[in-house]
Amino acid sequence: MNVIEVRNLVKKFGDFTAVNNISFDVRKGEIFGFLGANGAGKTTAMRMLCGLSTPTAGEGRVAGYDIWTEAELIKRNIGYMSQRFSLYNDLSVIDNIKFFAGIYGVDKTTMQRRSNELLTRLNLEKERNLMVESLPQGWKQKLAFSIAIFHNPQIVFLDEPTGGVDPETRRQFWEMIYEAANQGITIFVTTHYMDEAEYCNRVSMMVDGRIEALDSPAMLKSRYNASSMSDVFDIIARGETNL
Amino acid sequence: MKEFNAFIKKEFYHIFRDTRTLMILILLPIILIMLFSFAISVEIRNVNIGILAPTNDNSINQLAHKIETSEYFNITHWLNSPNEINDLMRANEVDLVLAFGDHFDQRMLSADGAQLGIVIDGSNPNNASMEMMYLMGLLQSYFSEKASVLPSSAGSLTTNVRMLYNPQSRSAYNFAPGIMGLILILICALMTSVSIVREKEMGTMEVLLISPVKPIHIILAKMIPYLIISCFVLGIILTLSFTVLGIPMLGTLHWIILVSLVYILLALSIGLFVSNMVDSQLVATLICAVVFMMPILLLSGMLFPIESMPRFFQVVSNIIPARWYISAIKKLMIQGVEFQFVLKEFTILCGMTLLLITASLKKFKEFI
């Protein structure tokens, strides 16, 4: 079953084509890596999928809803976490959880049960009334991710979630991502760490608004005869510039 | 609705976590009112007077005594020659010099009349004209006393200058509405815009826009806490005005509140408008301070009367919302007029509010 279906999606800003006729599917429970250099059009494509901006042309369904007409329903069924920090530093851990649960319409009893589970899982019970500001960066990121999937979305969009984090924390973070994927939450993740691309079930490589390659990391590596995703990316990006 | 409540709650958390800012918002109007009404005063007090008298006439001494005993003037210098006037004024030793003519006593009671020159330091025109007015009042009362003892009332003065509405010229009366105009803009425009722009700066705005919360709810949730705080502050200022400053509650209170509410809405939409235009808290603060606060202080009639401004600034002052608000509140609060007399101000404020709300909502849609 596909939770994201995109056909011939185009986004133009004036004369500039940010997203040029892309088509792809994302399956349920999949970890889908959305790769590309800065300015390749990743963020623009992701904004359209999240219902933040309307496409210039093309079709798309996210979580079973149309991106043209059902943006509100899409918003209820997705989670989002960005590279820029997505929690409130001047609010306590529990207030952050309550707020995001509140704006996603999670009812009170569910909220209480899940927030206790969450705090136990993250080992944050003692810190529940602490300001988020005082937490170490790695904990903040884990908390932000847990909050992004708090309302049990079908898909969670992660926009470079591990920016500025040490490798050990990144590894722990990916463990959480796997755990969420095992529960059936589809992960749509952009990253520029090529080692992270290896963790994905499938990755797409975007160059200048187009998807140049889309397959599992193993297949991509054998097709381009490369030893790592980093090499694959180099070959694809270089090939494009030589044209 | 539940989503919206969660949002408002969060906004209040932000405000109450930042106790320092909250204290400033509440203490600032109190301090400003105290400061403006008791410390910074544009009332005439302790005006230093120099007297230049060629002869030591009886009536000059009487007049000097009368001046000295008034609460506004002090006689600090007795001059011997007109040449001293310039130096003393430049040294700020005297603000005003009374130059009596020769044989003042005799000539005062003669047909030709006596001569009295008044020299005022005009470097502060507002003060100078006030000093002049006070002094003329003193002189007139002295001469009318003198004239009344004369057998024939040859030339008694009949000029009668009276100040309406603010008989003691208490400057606090003028400042209270001005402070209201200033503080409400500060809370509503500055705080709202900074709080919206902060979400943009931190990147949380993106998270909010992706959530199911409607954009209009984001805006309303940002405004409501500041609306409540401004109403609270309005209450403080009004209470202080009526108790500490002793401004007579002449105008009907509900009209004052109605006009203030419109002004609060106007200020909130200014805040929204600013927040849609800029992306950093610093710029938002600067715009609010430079584009809104300075003109309010300088051009709204709070400190300087609009009538005495150059023509250009008089025209500019028309587009400053605070000008109309302050004018309306002065009329309602101090003159105690009926609502129909502030209808013009009220209409203008309503018009400006509508215009700004429309413009900023349109801008906000573009931003999404």
Concatenated DSSP letters of B224-260: HHHHHHHHHHHHHHHHHHHHTS-----S-HHHHHHHH
Cβ-Cβ contacts under 8 Å for A124 (sequence gap 6 or more) = A93, A118, A139, A143
List the domain boundaries for chain B. 2-40+171-367, 47-148
Residues of chain B neighbouring A80 (CB-CB closer than 8 A): 206-207, 210-211
- Tell me the per-residue pLDDT of B107-131, one tens digit each, with 9 for 90 and over: 776 666 677 778 877 666 566 777 7
Instruction: Yes or no: say if A9 and A45 are a contact pair by the CB < 8 Å rule.
Output: yes
What one-letter code names the amino acid at B274? V
Instruction: Please say if the pLDDT value at position B355 is more than 60.
Output: yes
Chain A and chain B share a number of CB contacts under 8 A equal to 76
* ipTM tops the 0.95 cut: no
pLDDT at B159: 40
pLDDT at B242: 81
Shortest CA gap A105–chain B (Å): 6
B204 reaches A (C-beta below 8 A): yes
Element (H, E) at A98: helix A93-103
With CB atoms and an 8 Å threshold, state whether A52 touches B209. Answer: yes
Residue in A closest to B5 by C-alpha: A102
| Mean pLDDT over each residue of chain B, to the nearest integer | 79
Give chain B's length: 368
**Which residues on adjacent β-strands are paired with residue B52?**
B79, B99
What one-letter code names the amino acid at B110? S
What pLDDT band is residue B320 in, cutting at 50, 70 and 90? confident
B203 reaches A (C-beta below 8 A): yes
Instruction: Yes or no: say if B3 and A103 are a contact pair by the CB < 8 Å rule.
Output: yes
Indicate the range of B3-17, B49-63, B259-273 predicted with least confidence: B49-63
Q: Which residue has the higher pLDDT, B363 or A243?
A: B363
Intra-chain end-to-end CA distance of chain A, in Å = 36
Of the options 2.60.40.1930, 3.40.50.300, 3.30.70.20, 3.40.140.10, the CATH number for the domain spanning A2-88+153-242: 3.40.50.300
Shortest CA gap A85–chain B (Å): 6
- Tell me the per-residue pLDDT of B133-145, one tens digit each, with 9 for 90 and over: 788 878 877 777 7
pLDDT at A119: 93
A126 reaches B (C-beta below 8 A): no
Output the DSSP codes for A22-79.
EEEEEETT-EEEEEE-TTSSHHHHHHHHTTSS--SEEEEEETTEETTT-HHHHHHHEE
With CB atoms and an 8 Å threshold, state whether B3 touches A104. Answer: yes
Least CB-CB distance to B203: which of A86, A91, A95? Answer: A86
Structure tokens at B92: 């700020």
Residues of chain A neighbouring B207 (CB-CB closer than 8 A): 80-82, 86
B47-148 maps to CATH 3.40.1710.10: yes
Instruction: Please say if the pLDDT value at position B229 is more than 80.
Output: yes
CA–CA gap between residue B153 and residue B146 (Å, rounded): 10
With CB atoms and an 8 Å threshold, state whether A103 touches B18. Answer: no
Structure tokens at B252: 């009907």
CA–CA gap between residue B169 and residue A164 (Å, rounded): 64
Q: Rounded mean pLDDT of B293-319?
A: 79
List the domain boundaries for chain A. 2-88+153-242
B2 reaches A (C-beta below 8 A): yes
In the predicted model, residues of chain A with pLDDT beneath 70 are: 85, 239-243
Instruction: Yes or no: say if B324 and B349 are a contact pair by the CB < 8 Å rule.
Output: yes
With CB atoms and an 8 Å threshold, state whether A102 touches B7. Answer: yes
Among A64-78, B21-35, B295-309, the range of highest mean pLDDT: A64-78
Mutation target to probe the B interface, by most B beta carbons within 10 A, among A88, A90, A132, A140 is: A88
Instruction: Yes or no: say if B204 and B196 are a contact pair by the CB < 8 Å rule.
Output: no
With CB atoms and an 8 Å threshold, state whether B211 touches A104. Answer: yes
Instruction: Please say if the pLDDT value at position B65 is more than 70.
Output: yes
Place of tokens 């040449």: B83
CA–CA gap between residue A228 and residue B2 (Å, rounded): 49
Q: Which residue has the higher pLDDT, B11 or B303?
A: B11
